[in-house]
Amino acid sequence: MPGNPHTSVRSRQVAAALRELRERAGLSGAEVAKRMGMSPSKISRIETGNSGLQIEDVAALLGLYQVPASTRDELLDLVRRSEERGWWTRQPGLPQLWRSLIDFEAKATRIQNYEALVVPGLLQTAEYTRAIIQGVASTVSEAELDNLVAARMARQTVLTRSSAPQFFAVVDEGALRRPVGDPGVMHRQLHHLLGVAEQPHVTMRVVPMAIGAYAGLRGPFVILEFADEPALVFIENHGTGLFLEEETDLAAYRLALGTILHGALAPAATAELITQIASELR
């Protein structure tokens, strides 16, 4: 069944959490329906986000699953704010934001990522990620750094599973020439890109610096598309992340991507340029 086009990001997060909590409790949808006095179809609609979430229903389900108070309060707060469009999240280290992004990436059938300054997160090596984080967040502790790098690497498993989404990466040439870490880090990162781009579900294109000013200079973004849910746009900048779900926003970012691609190199020419940049680091 197609997803409800009016289902907000918050509702989708709550629905996914309820499904996970039920499975963790070892209960089937039919068992929950019987205990709650609901129809199995209603439980299914709640867990897929195809039914408007009622706070009383969610609270009752959380009670049945014996969810800790802190998690219960967080999910109920999301239900109360579920009609708000878009979702700003600001939190040190972005743990909740990253959990949300990982969840949406795992469900996506197609991911389109444009980056102007760095290599796309799903294509970064661990040492490149570490150097990036150390550069932009110099006060982070070693333990926090390890956790953030591990989280970034965990995100990448979405591209190695059997049902991997189509991943379309568009990167500014400047991001590939920026010396992140030592020359060895960059050399290995560039060769990693060449290897990943050979996978049938991964396409990579580079926007050459010679093109001058273009639409991508406004900033990076990710467009996530799903089989049975409305698409989303994700933007991250300076510790803040934003999920956009309005059709007008989606149309604007799709148009921007099309404009950016107009000046991007084809995949074969992209591979040649990456190889050339890597050779300059020897």
Within the chain, strands assigned E span: 87-90, 110-115, 166-172, 202-207, 221-225, 232-237, 240-244
Q: What are 29-81's pLDDT values in tens digits? A: 999 888 877 788 888 888 887 667 787 788 888 888 888 888 888 888 888 76
**Average pLDDT rounded to a whole number, residues 151-160:** 84
At residue 50, the pLDDT reads 66
**Average pLDDT rounded to a whole number, residues 270-277:** 98
CATH of the domain at 124: 3.30.870
Residues 59 and 21 in one domain: yes
Whether 261 shows a pLDDT value over 90: the answer reads yes
- Whether 256 maps to a domain, the answer reads yes
Residues 142 and 42 in one domain: no
**Average pLDDT rounded to a whole number, residues 3-27:** 77
At residue 90, the pLDDT reads 40
Residues 161 and 241 in one domain: yes
Rounded CA separation 57/63 (Å): 10
User: Do 87 and 29 meet the contact criterion of CB atoms below 8 Å apart?
Assistant: no
Of 49, 80, 111, the one marking the end of a domain is: 80
At residue 8, the pLDDT reads 65
Residues 24 and 151 in one domain: no
- Whether 2 maps to a domain, the answer reads no
- Whether 44 maps to a domain, the answer reads yes
- Domain extent at residue 22: 9-80
pLDDT grade, residue 240 (50/70/90)?
Answer: confident
**Average pLDDT rounded to a whole number, residues 272-277:** 98
At residue 38, the pLDDT reads 78
**Residue 123, C-beta contacts closer than 8 angstroms, at least 6 positions apart:** 156, 169, 192, 193, 196, 204
Residues 246 and 123 in one domain: yes
Q: Chain-wide mean pLDDT for the chain?
A: 86
Residues 168 and 184 in one domain: yes
Residues 217 and 114 in one domain: yes
| 221 three-state secondary structure | strand
Residues 23 and 42 in one domain: yes
Percent of the chain whose pLDDT exceeds 90: 50
Rounded CA separation 30/10 (Å): 25
Residues 111 and 155 in one domain: yes
Cβ neighbour number for residue 26 with a 10 Å cutoff: 7
pTM comes to 0.71
Residue 118 carries which DSSP code?
Answer: S
**Average pLDDT rounded to a whole number, residues 148-166:** 85
Q: What are 133-146's pLDDT values in tens digits? A: 999 888 888 888 88
Q: What are 70-129's pLDDT values in tens digits? A: 888 888 888 876 655 443 344 344 456 677 788 889 889 999 999 999 999 999 999 999
Number of folded domains in the chain? Answer: 2
pLDDT grade, residue 173 (50/70/90)?
Answer: very high
| 170 three-state secondary structure | strand
pLDDT grade, residue 4 (50/70/90)?
Answer: very low
At residue 236, the pLDDT reads 85
Rounded CA separation 199/12 (Å): 30
Residue 11: C-alpha distances to residues 18, 237, 250 (Å): 11, 24, 19
